[in-house]
Amino acid sequence: MLIVVSYDVTDDRRRTKLAHALKDFGARVQYSVFECLLEPDQVERLHLRIERLISPEEDSVRLYRFCADCGSQTEILGLGKLSEDPDVYVL
């Protein structure tokens, strides 16, 4: 499943920690946007990790879930490339 995560985190320290955590799940495609190709159990782990890192009263994180067919229809205008499912997973 393709998950697109976008965030607006007000605190520099929390924002940095969140960005580092998101790198464990996917690829940064813009400054505050990550694309993650995940299995359902990984989505749950991502959700829990985000909840531990943010302040719900101050920060905003959005997770957009796309089906496989929807993800394959993604268009990129300008620079960038589609995220691909890696051949090797490191856990």
Q: How many domains does the chain have?
A: 1
Structure tokens at 3: 């998950």
pLDDT at 60: 96
Q: Which neighbouring-strand residues pair with 6?
A: 33, 62
Does 25 reside within a domain? yes
pLDDT tens digits along 7-50: 999 999 999 999 999 999 999 999 999 999 999 999 999 999 99
Q: What is the pLDDT of residue 55?
A: 96
Whether 76 is in a domain gets the answer no
Q: How far is CA 21 from the centre of its chain?
A: 9
At 89 the pLDDT is 47
- Picking from 13, 28, 21, the residue whose alpha carbon sits closest to that of residue 58 is 13
**Does some domain include residue 50?**
yes
- Give the confidence band of 88 by pLDDT, cuts at 50, 70, 90: very low
- Is 75 among the domain residues? no
In whole angstroms, give the CA distance from residue 69 to residue 86. Answer: 18
Structure tokens at 33: 């946007």
Q: How many residues does the chain have?
A: 91
Higher pLDDT: 76 or 30? It is 30
Say how far apart CA 22 and CA 5 lie, in whole Å. 8
State pTM to two decimals: 0.80
Write out the residue range of the structural domain in which residue 48 sits: 2-68
